Structure 1
Amino acid sequence: MMDLMQSPDAVATAIGRNVRALRRQRRMTIEALAAAAGVSRGTVIQIETARGNPSIGTLVHLAEALRVGVTSLVDGDASPRVVVRRAEQAVPLWSNETGSTAVFRIGTDPPDVVELWEWTLQPGDAFDGEAHATGTTEVLSVLSGRLGLRVGSTEHELAEGDTVMFQAHAPHRYAGAGPDPVRFTMVVLQPGDAGLVPPSAIAPAEPDPPN
C-alpha cells in the first residue's frame, strides 16, 4: 500500500504557509503573534520559513493565538477552500406573522466578516437595523418588488435590478415600498478592524523574512 504520510519537509512547508497566511489575515505582526503565542520572534520566523517542525506545544499555542484549530495549521492542501451551503442549510433568523423573512445564507468567521442574506418584506413591512461598527459596509440588490431604504436621515427607493452600497455605521431601515413583496440580497462586509482604530494606526504589512 502506498504510504500517504507527508514528509517532515512537506509538513513544515504547510505549517509555515498556513501560519503566515493566517497571521496576515488577522493583521498581526510577527512580534504580535509571538507575544500572543508565548514564543520568540525567531521561532515564528523559523516556522514561517519552514526551517523546522515546531513542537506540539508550540503548534497548540500558535493555533490559540490565531483562533483556529491545529488542523488549520497542518493542512497540506494548498488548493482554494470551497464551502458549499445547501439550500436546506440556510437559517431564517428573523420572520414575522405576515411572512416577511431574513435568511442567513453563508458567512465567514472573524476577523474579516462577510455575510450573505436573503430578505423578503411584505408590502408595508419594515425592519430597523441597528448601527454597525464604523467601517462596516452593506450592499443590497433588489431581486423583485420595490425596496425603501433609509440610512441615517436619507431615504431612497430601489426598483427591481437596482443595487446600493452604503456605510452602515448609522441606524438604517428596510421597507416594502410597493404593492408586491420585495425580495433582495444583502451582503455585509465588516473588516476585522472595524470600529477599533483608524486606518492610519494599523501597522504596515511586514515583508516576508528572508529565506
Structure 2
Amino acid sequence: MASSANRRTAPAPAQAGSVAALAPPRVGEHIQRLRMERKLTLDDLSRAAGVSKSMLSEIERDKANPTIAVAWRLTNALGVSLDQLFAAQRAPETIAVSGPHEIPTLDGHEAKYQLRVWGPIELAGKFEWYELTLQPGGALTSNAHEPGTREHLTVLAGSIEIESAGETKRLKLADTARYQADVPHAIRNAGKAEAKALLVVIHG
C-alpha cells in the first residue's frame, strides 16, 4: 500500500481570479482613442480597415473583442502595430525606437505618390512630418487645411514643383519651400526620375 507521502493529489480547481486573468484584453477604448486622435469617424475607419461599422462600434464599446485578422486590419488603418494595441500600459521609455515596419505608409497609386508618416501619433493634427516619394508624373494635391497651416518641403532627390495661392515654384535638390497650406495646394514631380522630399506640416 502506497504511503500518504507518495499519493498524488488532484490539482485544485482554478479560482475565478485565474480565469479573469486569462480573459482577452479590452482594446475597444484604445481603438476609439486612436480613431479620435486621427479625427476619423466610425465610417472613415470602417472603410479604411474593411471592417463593418456595426462590428467596429461593438469593438469600441467593448461588447466584442476583435479577432487577430480584424485587429490587424484596424492597426494598419490606424498606423500602429498589433503589439502597441495589445500591450499593457508601461512606463514611458526614455528612448522609444520604431522599426521600419512600424512606420505607416499611405499610397496614392493613381496619383503616383507615397507618404511615409514619420511623425508620432500624439502630434497628429498639430505637427506632422512625412517622407514623400513621387514617381514621374506623380502629384500630391490637397484641399485647404485649417486657417494658418503652413507646409515646409525640402527636396531630397530629383526636382519638385510647388503650387500654392496661385503661385508656382520649381525646386531642385536641397531646396526648401515654405508656403501656405490653408489654401488648395499641390506638390508635383517636375522631372523624369523619382523625386523625394521631407514634408513638414504645422497646423494652424
TM-score, normalised to structure 2's length? Answer: 0.50
**Secondary structure at the counterpart of residue 88 of structure 1:** helix
Of residues 135, 147, 152 in structure 2, which corresponds to 1:139?
152
Equivalent residues in 2 for 1:59-70 (5 A)?
none
Alignment partner, residue 90 of structure 1 = 103
TM-score, normalised to structure 1's length? Answer: 0.49
Deviations 1:20-49 (A, max 9, x none): xxxxxxxxxxxxxxxxxxxxxxxxxxxxxx
Residue 189 (structure 1) aligned with residue 202 (structure 2)? yes
**Secondary structure at the counterpart of residue 109 of structure 1:** helix
Gaps of 5+ in 1: 1-70, 195-211
1:111: Cα distance to partner? 8.5
Gaps of 5+ in 2: 1-88
User: How many residue pairs align between the two structures?
Assistant: 116
Contact in 2 for aligned 1:107/1:114 (Cα 8 Å): no
Of residues 127, 150, 153 in structure 1, which corresponds to 2:140?
127
1:167: Cα distance to partner? 2.2
Alignment partner, residue 178 of structure 1 = 191
**Greater RCO (CA < 8 Å, at least 6 residues apart):** 1
Query: Counterpart of 1:85 in structure 2: which amino acid?
Result: S
Alignment partner, residue 167 of structure 1 = 180
Of residues 147, 154, 179 in structure 1, which corresponds to 2:167?
154
1:96: Cα distance to partner? 0.7
1:99: Cα distance to partner? 5.3
- Say what the alpha-carbon RMSD is for the aligned residues: 2.6
1:85: Cα distance to partner? 2.4
Deviations 1:91-118 (A, max 9, x none): 1122315853111122352587211111
1:127: Cα distance to partner? 1.7
Paired-residue identity, %? 27
Q: Cα 1:121–1:112, aligned 2, differ >3 Å: closer, same or farther? A: closer
**Alpha-carbon distance between aligned partners in 1 of 2:148 and 2:99, rounded to the nearest angstrom:** 30
- Runs of 4+ aligned residues of structure 1 deviating over 6 Å after TM superposition are none
Query: Counterpart of 1:120 in structure 2: which amino acid?
Result: T
